[in-house]
């Protein structure tokens, strides 16, 4: 069985979604494929644990959810709003299926601003 492969050269593209507000809803540890859930994946560049953060995205059309992988020393908090630093998108392919994946360098807590949609 082939693993997930990133499609195309260059891997990931930087993304800025203007006017978007991000609110973390669910945070789980990214785990090593085929291993126990207690072994968390480590980011090769930063050597920090990887977290999968499901975000509520507001302010750009209909509310939506997106999952972003973020390296962080501690589990990111849910609740308030965050700024995504270094957001980028890539394409994956596995067993004839494909899709997008999202990564960010960090998620920084921020105070709600005028126009943020608080839920």
Residues comprising the chain, all counted: 119
C-alpha 118: how far from its chain's center? 20
Question: Is residue 115 assigned to a domain?
Answer: no
Question: Is residue 60 assigned to a domain?
Answer: yes
pLDDT value at position 114? 62
Find out whether 80 and 109 touch, Cβ atoms under 8 Å. Answer: yes
Task: Give CA–CA dist 15/86, Å, rounded.
Answer: 8
pLDDT value at position 36? 60
pLDDT value at position 31? 85
Question: Is residue 84 assigned to a domain?
Answer: yes
Q: The domain containing residue 43 runs over which residues?
A: 5-13+21-110
Question: Is residue 37 assigned to a domain?
Answer: yes
The answer to whether the Cα torsion of 42, 39, 8, 83 is positive or negative is negative
Task: Give CA–CA dist 56/24, Å, rounded.
Answer: 6
pLDDT value at position 9? 46
pLDDT value at position 79? 85
In three-state secondary structure terms, 55 is strand
Task: Give CA–CA dist 57/100, Å, rounded.
Answer: 16
pLDDT value at position 44? 92
Question: Is residue 117 assigned to a domain?
Answer: no
pLDDT value at position 6? 53
Question: Is residue 32 assigned to a domain?
Answer: yes
The CATH code of the domain that includes 75 is 2.40.50
pTM: 0.79
Task: For the beta carbon of residue 89, count every other beta carbon within 10 angstroms.
Answer: 14
Using 70 as the pLDDT threshold, list the residues of the chain that sit under it. 1-10, 34-38, 112-119
Domain count, the chain: 1
pLDDT value at position 119? 46
CA nearest 103: which of 45, 61, 51, 26?
51
Question: Is residue 118 assigned to a domain?
Answer: no
């Amino acid at each position: 069985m082939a693993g997930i492969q990133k499609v195309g050269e260059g891997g990931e593209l930087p993304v800025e979604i203007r006017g978007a507000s991000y609110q973390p809803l669910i945070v789980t540890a990214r785990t090593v494929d085929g291993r126990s859930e207690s072994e968390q994946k480590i980011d090769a560049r930063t050597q920090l644990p990887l977290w999968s953060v499901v975000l509520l995205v507001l302010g750009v059309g209909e509310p939506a959810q997106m999952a972003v992988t973020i390296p962080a020393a501690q589990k990111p908090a849910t609740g308030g709003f965050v700024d995504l630093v270094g957001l980028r998108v890539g394409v994956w392919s596995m067993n004839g299926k494909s899709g997008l994946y999202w990564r960010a360098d960090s998620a920084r807590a921020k105070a709600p601003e005028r126009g943020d949609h608080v839920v």
